[in-house]
A = this chain, B = another copy of it.
Amino acid sequence: MLINGQSGDSVAVLDRGLQYGDGLFETIAFINGNAPLWGRHMARLSAGCRSLGLPRQDAVRLAQEARQLLHADDAQTGKHVIKIIITRGEDGSAYFPGEGDATRILYTREWPQRAAQQGFEGIALHRCQTRLATGSPFAGLKTLNRLEQVIAAAEIKKAGLQEGLLCDADGFMVEALMSNLFWLKQGVLYTPMLDRCGVSGVMRAEVIEQAEHFGMSVHEVRETPEMLESAQAMFLTNALGLTAVRAFSGKPMDVDAVPVKIRNAIRQLFS
């Protein structure tokens, strides 16, 4: 683990990351030492820093530190995950942010077992009761304020599943716990709008670009889960890949109806 370029594993209690969740993070897939979505991660991190008024992060330095970690952890081949956390550091007075240096944390994590399995078999999706507050000033960003996800995760675990669909306070679909959501209906792809809450996933952007490249329409919509009743297929995307939905709220879904071109494009990206 690197903290501001030095080996370490702890942060000050007074760091605003702990005090207020005053920061951002990225979870980045590395395949044989390369991060296929690196540019998208850096773009989202930059947008987040601008939005929160955090110091701009040097993407070259982050890349160097990521490589240093992969080397140290003997992780230059195979699939690995690097998590980057940027907090505002300690400078400030109560909620009022200071102008001081950010805290920059990077570390490697195991590639999750479940991600590998689910890609082939598909995943069962719980319909969460937990709602996302709507009208967030941080809609789209991956901030350290993730308590809604923690509560939703507890609900999903209680239902015996690993993923769940989250709606906003008005009942409109937003995303899944750890992924963005797409569904297919008469040859058109749909995905929820993320202007009022939710995380604008790097793989979501990649899939939209790939789909348009293949001539498919992608519509961003504000819809309730009832619209999924007539969906031909559903799939989830996150920084670690694409996963078909094999059941939603107990109802079976056709895993094979996920567009093959998109599925293959993502598989190639990560091979």
Question: Is there contact, CB below 8 Å, between A169 and B134?
Answer: yes
A147 and B143: CB pair below 8 A? yes
Q: Is the interface of A mostly helix, strand, loop or mixed?
A: mixed
Chain B residue at minimal CB-CB distance from A12: B10
The quantity of this chain's copies bound in the complex is: 2
Beyond A143-B147, A145-B145, A147-B20, is A154–B53 a contact (Cβ under 8 Å)? Answer: yes
| Given contacts A10-B10, A144-B21, A135 and B170 within 8 Å (CB-CB) | yes
Q: A13-B11, A169-B134 are in contact. Are A144 and B18 (CB under 8 A)?
A: yes
Contact B12 A9 (CB under 8 A): yes
Q: Is A146 an interface residue (CB 8 A)?
A: yes
Q: Which residues of B contact A153 (CB under 8 A)?
A: 94-97
Q: Which residues of B contact A88 (CB under 8 A)?
A: 150
For chain A, which range describes its interface: under 10, 10 to 19, 20 to 34, or 35 or more residues? 35 or more
Beyond A10-B10, A85-B13, A168-B135, whether A20 also contacts B144 by CB under 8 A is yes
Q: Is A177 an interface residue (CB 8 A)?
A: yes
Q: Is B196 a contact of A154 with CB atoms below 8 Å?
A: no
Q: Which residues of B contact A3 (CB under 8 A)?
A: 13
For residue A212, CB closer than 8 A to chain B, the reply is no
Q: How far is the CB of A119 from chain B (nearest CB, A)?
A: 17
Please determine whether A96 and B157 come into contact, CB atoms closer than 8 angstroms.
yes
Query: Smallest CB-CB separation from A144: which chain B residue?
Result: B21
Which of A1, A19, A21, A177 has the most CB atoms of chain B within a 10 A radius of its CB? A21
Structural contact, B131 and A133, CB atoms closer than 8 A:
no
- Specify which chain B residues have a CB less than 8 angstroms from the CB of A18 in the assembled complex: 11, 15, 17-18, 85, 87, 144
Sampled A-B contacts (14; CB under 8 Å):
A9-B14, A10-B10, A15-B18, A19-B146, A20-B149, A21-B144, A96-B153, A96-B156, A96-B157, A132-B135, A135-B170, A136-B169, A145-B145, A145-B146
> Residues of A at under 8 Å CB distance from B?
1, 3, 8-22, 25, 52-53, 85, 87-88, 94-97, 105, 107, 112, 130-138, 143-154, 156-157, 168-170, 177-178, 196-197
